[in-house]
Amino acid sequence: MDVISVIRTKRDKGELSPEQIDWVIDAYTRGVVADEQMSALAMAILLNGMNRDEIARWTAAMIASGERMDFSSLSRPTSDKHSTGGVGDKITLPLAPLVAACGAAVPQLSGRGLGHTGGTLDKLESIPGWRALLSNDEMLHVLDTTGAVICAAGDGLAPADKKLYALRDVTGTVEAIPLIASSIMSKKIAEGTGSLVLDVKVGTGAFMKTIEDARELASTMVQLGTDSGVKTVALLTDMSTPLGLTAGNALEVRESVEVLAGGGPADVVELTIALAREMLDAAGIKDADPAKALADGSAMDHWRRMIAAQGGDPDATLPVAREQHVVTAPSSGVLTRLDAYDIGVAAWRLGAGRARKEDPVQAGAGVELHAKPGDTVTAGQPLLTLHTDTPEKFDYALKSLDDSWDIASPGTAFTANPIVLDRIA
Query: What residues are annotated to the active site?
Result: 82, 161, 168, 183, 187
Beta strands of 275-344 (E only): which ranges? Answer: 323-328, 333-338
Adjacent-strand bridge partners of 383: none
Count how many Cα atoms sit within 13 Å of the Cα of residue 47 in the half-sphere of its side chain.
15
d(CA 94, CA 109): 15
Cβ(381)–Cβ(327) below 8 Å: no
- Which residues, 6 or more positions from 273, have their beta carbon under 8 angstroms from its beta carbon? 98, 290, 291, 294
Q: Which helix (H) or strand (E) holds 211?
A: helix 211-227
d(CA 184, CA 200): 11
d(CA 349, CA 88): 15
d(CA 81, CA 79): 7
Please list the alpha-helical segments (H only) found in 310-424: 340-347, 394-399
Pairing relationship of beta strands 405-408 and 333-338 according to DSSP bridges: antiparallel
Cβ(94)–Cβ(123) below 8 Å: no
Q: How far is CA 55 from the centre of its chain?
A: 21
Q: Angle at the Cα of 405 (from 241 to 171), degrees rounded to 5?
A: 60
